[in-house]
């Protein structure tokens, strides 16, 4: 059996006719920018996440940039965020001329450690970007309480968490602004790049819209320097087809996560599983199912033995971590896994100038050496899941 980390093939097959029709309709209409598809998407998405205003844009990265700009965050300002995220989170902060300040994450849920925020505050701190990483909602009660106390703006990075709830409310409905990505591998994916900004504040929504069209409140009047970052009609039409399926897809992701947890429960101690407790009013979006493989001597020895015994062609002379060895062991059994993320943002060459070094954020750095995302997509079959689980157990010689 072959298991991909993610695939759209089954989704495209089942929605194919509707998608073809929608895309062709736009293609033949010649109305590619703006129009009713975009308007209708913004309205449906606003309804879905229950916020009054949604503005579509080019990508999740642009959503973050537009949000920061609309909140007047720029040169001289500091924005606190997590280094255990996709690079775009910090890149957006730098793009508006501000400085990202990284705070370490909680080792259990991988999210910004709220207890550590206070120490990161300086007179220049203007905002916090909590990242609902892998679909797991940040504790927005605590985060909003903290940010109100310190008079900081909050921009939620919801790129991986479409469909996730914190206490019955969608992510992206708590902060001043929420930023969504519809990159094809996210929970709600377009047929290319797309994103959106959500807010409860009419003026912020207006500002975001202006900035997304060259700072232009009305035609050929430019009140600020903006961007060309619109959501195009074809992408909107694809999203309009997909929105009604989102809740079902997230439910499927939840069931897959539950199966993984049940089936791998007896392997706890060798690997660790996401510990998120469902059942409260909060809901994980399960964009990724991320396990941790502690880099212990015992794990290394077990995985090396498995690889040596079964795949002697593998060259193991390089000093690989247990996580890298497990990835190799799965790859040899035709299972592709992905590492989100192998290098923390604060240690990226692009951020050398910020002055962080190895050891600056110990939990984040340890996670980058231990995490592995198992295959996860709503259409994944139980057979595929059983095969992944069996292959992991074989690699650790828990089963023959």
Residue 131 touches ligand PLP, criterion: CB under 6 A:
yes
**Among 51, 67, 70, 88, interactor with ligand PLP by CB under 6 A:** 88
**Residue number, nearest CB to ligand PLP:** 60
With contacts defined by CB under 6 A, name the span among 100-108, 157-165, 315-323, 380-388 that binds ligand PLP: 157-165
CB atoms inside a 10 Å sphere around CB 212: 27
With contacts defined by CB under 6 A, name the span among 37-45, 152-160, 256-264, 342-350 that binds ligand PLP: 152-160
* Total residues interacting with ligand PLP, rule: CB under 6 A: 15
Rounded-to-integer distance, Cα 131 and Cα 293, Å: 23
Residue 156 touches ligand PLP, criterion: CB under 6 A:
no
Tokens at residue 205, please? 């929504």
The DSSP-derived string for 292-328 is: E----HHHHHHHHHHHHHH-TTS---S---HHHHHHH
Residue 59 touches ligand PLP, criterion: CB under 6 A:
yes
Taking the least distance from each CB to ligand PLP, the nearer of 132 and 327 is 132
Taking the least distance from each CB to ligand PLP, the nearer of 42 and 384 is 42
**Phi, then psi, of 20 in degrees rounded to 5:** -55, -50
- Per the CB < 8 A criterion, the answer to whether 364 and 84 are in contact is yes
Rounded-to-integer distance, Cα 114 and Cα 326, Å: 32
Taking the least distance from each CB to ligand PLP, the nearer of 93 and 307 is 93
With contacts defined by CB under 6 A, name the span among 53-61, 113-121, 264-272, 329-337 that binds ligand PLP: 53-61
**Among 11, 81, 89, 198, interactor with ligand PLP by CB under 6 A:** 89
With contacts defined by CB under 6 A, name the span among 25-33, 82-90, 238-246, 299-307 that binds ligand PLP: 82-90
Tokens at residue 157, please? 């990075």
Residue 181 touches ligand PLP, criterion: CB under 6 A:
yes
Residue 86 touches ligand PLP, criterion: CB under 6 A:
yes
Taking the least distance from each CB to ligand PLP, the nearer of 195 and 378 is 195
Q: Which helix (H) or strand (E) holds 19?
A: helix 9-29
- Per the CB < 8 A criterion, the answer to whether 180 and 55 are in contact is no
With contacts defined by CB under 6 A, name the span among 54-62, 250-258, 277-285, 327-335 that binds ligand PLP: 54-62
Residue 198 touches ligand PLP, criterion: CB under 6 A:
no
Q: Minimum distance between the CB of residue 191 and ligand PLP, rounded to whole angstroms? A: 13
**Among 11, 83, 85, 198, interactor with ligand PLP by CB under 6 A:** 85
- Per the CB < 8 A criterion, the answer to whether 322 and 294 are in contact is yes
Q: Output the CA torsion 129→83→57→229 (10° steps).
A: 110
The helix/strand/coil state of 182 is: coil
**Among 159, 335, 376, 392, interactor with ligand PLP by CB under 6 A:** 159
**Among 77, 157, 210, 324, interactor with ligand PLP by CB under 6 A:** 157
CB atoms inside a 10 Å sphere around CB 11: 18
With contacts defined by CB under 6 A, name the span among 80-88, 268-276, 277-285, 302-310 that binds ligand PLP: 80-88
- Per the CB < 8 A criterion, the answer to whether 252 and 53 are in contact is no
Taking the least distance from each CB to ligand PLP, the nearer of 92 and 374 is 92
The DSSP-derived string for 23-49 is: HHHHHHH---BSSHHHHHHHHHHHHHH
- Per the CB < 8 A criterion, the answer to whether 248 and 50 are in contact is no
Rounded-to-integer distance, Cα 237 and Cα 22, Å: 6
Taking the least distance from each CB to ligand PLP, the nearer of 11 and 59 is 59
Taking the least distance from each CB to ligand PLP, the nearer of 93 and 264 is 93
According to DSSP, residue 138 is labeled: P
- Per the CB < 8 A criterion, the answer to whether 128 and 117 are in contact is yes
Residue 338 touches ligand PLP, criterion: CB under 6 A:
no
**Among 81, 83, 125, 160, interactor with ligand PLP by CB under 6 A:** 160
According to DSSP, residue 338 is labeled: B
Q: Note the residues at the interface with ligand PLP (CB under 6 A).
A: 59-61, 85-86, 88-89, 131, 157, 159-160, 181, 183, 193, 195
């Amino acid at each position: 059996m072959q298991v991909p980390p993610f695939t759209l093939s089954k989704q495209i097959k089942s929605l194919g006719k509707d998608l073809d029709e929608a895309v062709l309709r736009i293609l033949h209409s010649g109305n590619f920018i703006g129009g009713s598809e975009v308007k209708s998407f913004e309205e449906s998405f606003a309804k879905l996440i229950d916020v009054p205003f949604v503005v579509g844009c080019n990508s999740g990265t642009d959503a973050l940039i537009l949000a920061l700009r609309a909140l007047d965050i720029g040169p001289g300002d500091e924005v606190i965020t997590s280094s255990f995220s996709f690079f775009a989170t910090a890149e957006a902060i730098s793009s508006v001329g501000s400085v990202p300040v990284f705070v370490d994450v909680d080792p259990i849920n991988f999210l910004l450690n709220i207890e550590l925020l206070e120490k990161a505050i300086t007179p220049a701190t203007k905002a916090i970007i909590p990242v609902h990483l892998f679909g797991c909602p940040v504790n927005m009660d605590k985060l909003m309480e903290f940010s109100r106390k310190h008079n900081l703006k909050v921009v939620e990075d919801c790129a991986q968490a479409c469909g996730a709830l914190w206490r019955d409310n969608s992510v992206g409905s708590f902060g001043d602004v929420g930023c969504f990505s519809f990159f094809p591998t996210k929970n709600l994916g377009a047929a290319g790049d797309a994103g959106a900004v959500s807010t409860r504040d009419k003026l912020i929504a207006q500002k975001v819209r202006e900035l997304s069209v060259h700072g232009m409140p009305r035609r050929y009047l430019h009140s600020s320097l903006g961007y060309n970052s619109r959501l195009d009609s074809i992408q909107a039409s694809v999203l309009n087809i997909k929105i009604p399926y989102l809740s079902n897809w997230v439910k499927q992701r939840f069931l897959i996560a539950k199966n993984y947890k049940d089936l791998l429960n007896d392997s706890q101690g060798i690997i660790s599983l996401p510990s998120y407790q469902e059942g409260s009013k909060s809901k994980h979006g399960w964009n990724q199912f991320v396990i941790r493989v502690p880099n212990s001597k015992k794990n290394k020895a077990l995985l090396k033995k498995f690889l040596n015994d079964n795949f002697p062609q593998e060259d193991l002379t390089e000093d690989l971590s247990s996580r890298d060895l497990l990835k190799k062991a799965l790859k040899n059994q035709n299972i592709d896994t992905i590492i989100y993320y192998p290098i923390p943002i604060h240690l990226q060459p692009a951020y050398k100038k910020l002055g962080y070094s190895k050891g600056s954020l110990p939990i984040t750095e340890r996670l980058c050496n231990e995490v592995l995302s198992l295959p996860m997509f709503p259409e994944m079959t139980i057979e595929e899941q059983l095969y992944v689980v069996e292959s992991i157990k074989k690699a650790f010689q828990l089963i023959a």
